[in-house]
Amino acid sequence: MILRPPQASLASGTLWSLYSYGVLICIRCHDYRRQDLVLGAILYALVPCHLFVAYIIEYSAARSAQGVVGMRKKNETGTMTPEDETNAWAHDPTWRNIALAHGINASFCLLVTSFVVYSYIHHPLIGTICQVHAIIVWLKNCSYAFTNRDLRHAMLHPASPVTLPLLYSTCPYPKNITLGNLSYFWWAPTLVYQPVYPRSTDIRWGFIAKRLAEVAGLSVFIWLASAQYAAPVLRNSLNKMASLDIASIIERLMKLSTISLIIWLAGFFAIFQSALNALAEVMKFGDREFYTDWWNSPSVGTYWRTWNKPVTHFMRRHIYSPLVGRGWNSDLASAMVFVFSGLLHEVLVGIPTHNIIGVAFLGMVLQIPLIKGTLPLERMQGTNGKVIGNCIFWISFCLVGQPLAALLYFFAWQAKYGSHEEKEQEEEEPASMKRAKWKSIQQRLA
């Protein structure tokens, strides 16, 4: 048995793909319509307008809050008791109307985009870009509303035991309600609103150029790998899916797991290491921990807490912590986070592919038992438990999660827009000649 280095194995797979399918790269072969580009551009331009609607709503709320504070200062008969103030806050229709306006504005942003993408944008990549942008703006809208609600509550209730971070004192509410402050949050690489962020002093343009070059190079690599390797594997899986050939489906999943992992890692590096750091440098954004060493995760839960820090901060700040603060059990609050995340994943994947089949939602919800199952391994003394937990994470990540979801959504797309009975590619030359050629290729790589 001859052992080959990983580079040889990768080259071997690449040559086999070229030999089996030929060169599948085609710059002009794009399955998109002019309407997709026009509507995508319109959505991308209009979605951020909802942030400025949120600014108008919050500006009105700040004026109302200043009026309440001014009336209290002029009150010569004394101040209300804390209980009366709390009741007044809970039943004052002004604050309920403000919350309702924020909710309608944020929801309208996501609903309109989802409707247009599902109904009128055929190309899944263009639809995905629109959905990602809309979800990011929706999350920023929600965080802007929630955080300013808390700041407004702290201003109206100075005797409240809730303490604000010292950093916020440099820009107290309502001085933070400005277009400049909101515009910075719009472009900052974070989903959690703060009146003030840690800032760097200079912009390193050479650093930005390197990061942008990485994004460009990795984007080309992802396109080449998807077209040359992933697409043929997916197409050749359709007839096996249609006939429920379990053994062949598992074999296709094993094939797909390799290229899907490579593409995912390239995309992860392009976004979290290159693009977000370039954007942070332009914005002089100081907090640049966008991820930690998730690849060493001793449990599935650790992976979800470390691979995407901006989303983790949002979930903890605006979903998990408020639920726990209201008396929810921590496990139940965590489950609610994954249910919410599952809904977002289904919106992100199901709507651009025009197939809301629940696979993305179910994939996120099924993480809950995996997290509970691997948590004892993380807490075990020594390294054995952590190694086992890390192995479980990688198996679920590589073999079950992404390739299976890609296969199911691709099958659903073909069932809706094309024939799922994929024709087998029959070579004109005999099988013995094919094996001989492939053996010669392997000998050159040895």
Q: What distance in Å separates the CA atoms of residue 95 and residue 82, rounded to the nearest whole number?
A: 18
Q: Helix, strand or coil for residue 69?
A: helix
End-to-end CA gap in the chain:
11
d(C-alpha 287, C-alpha 191), whole Å: 12
Find where tokens 């750091």 sit.
Answer: 277
Q: For residues 348 and 128, is the Cβ–Cβ distance under 8 A?
A: yes
Q: Within 10 A of 77 (CB to CB), how many other CB atoms are there?
A: 5
Pair of tokens at residue 376: 């004892």
DSSP 158: T
Q: In terms of C-beta density within 10 A (0-12 exposed, 13-18 middle, 19 or more buried), how is residue 342 classed?
A: buried
Q: Report the alpha-carbon distance of residue 191 to residue 194 in Å, rounded.
A: 10
Which whole-number Å values give the CA distances from 180 to 50, 52, 153, 174, 279, in the listed order?
15, 11, 23, 13, 17
The structure tokens listed for 258 are 């390799």
Give kind and range of the element (H or E) at residue 141. Answer: helix 124-156
> Is 345 a residue of the active site?
yes
Residue in 50, 102, 345, 354 annotated catalytic: 345
State the Cα–Cα distance between residues 117 and 266, nearest whole angstrom: 26
How much helix, strand and coil, in percent to the nearest 5, is found in the chain?
Answer: 75, 0, 25
One-letter amino acid identity for 385?
A: G
Residues acting as catalytic residues? 345
